[in-house]
Amino acid sequence: MRALTDLTAEQQEAVANTRGIVASLHAELPRNGLVVWTAGNVSQRVPGTDLFVIKPSGVSYDELAPDVMVVCELDGTKINDGTAAHLQPSSDTAAHAYVYRHMPEVGGVVHTHSPYATAWAAVGEPVPCTLTMMADEFGGPVPIGPFALIGDDSIGRGIVETLRDSRSPAVLMQNHGPFTIGKDARAAVKAAVMVEEVARTTFLARQLGTPIPMDQADIDRLYDRYQNVYGQHADDDEQES
Ligand X SMILES: O=C(CO)[C@@H](O)[C@H](O)COP(=O)(O)O
Residues noted as catalytic: 136, 230
CB of 45 to ligand X, least distance (A): 18
DSSP SS3 for 1: coil
| C-alpha separations of 11 from 33, 49, 53, 75, 237 in Å | 34, 7, 13, 19, 30
CB of 40 to ligand X, least distance (A): 6
CB of 57 to ligand X, least distance (A): 3
Under 8 Å between Cβ of 43 and 116 = no
Task: Identify the CA nearest to 110 among candidates 192, 30, 169.
Answer: 192
CB of 154 to ligand X, least distance (A): 13
- HSE of 16 in the Cβ direction (CA atoms, 13 Å)? 8
Residue numbers of the site for ligand X (CB under 6 A)?
A: 38-39, 41, 57-58, 90-92, 111, 150
Q: Which is nearer to ligand X, 111 or 186 (CB)?
A: 111
Under 8 Å between Cβ of 65 and 49 = no
Q: Which is nearer to ligand X, 153 or 220 (CB)?
A: 153
First to last CA, the chain: 48
- For residue 45, give the H/E element and its range: strand 40-45
- For residue 236, give the H/E element and its range: helix 234-240
Q: Which is nearer to ligand X, 39 or 68 (CB)?
A: 39
CB of 38 to ligand X, least distance (A): 4
Q: Which is nearer to ligand X, 38 or 130 (CB)?
A: 38
Q: Which is nearer to ligand X, 78 or 111 (CB)?
A: 111
Q: What is the DSSP string of 68-98?
A: G-EEEETTSPBPB-SS-TT--B-TTHHHHHH
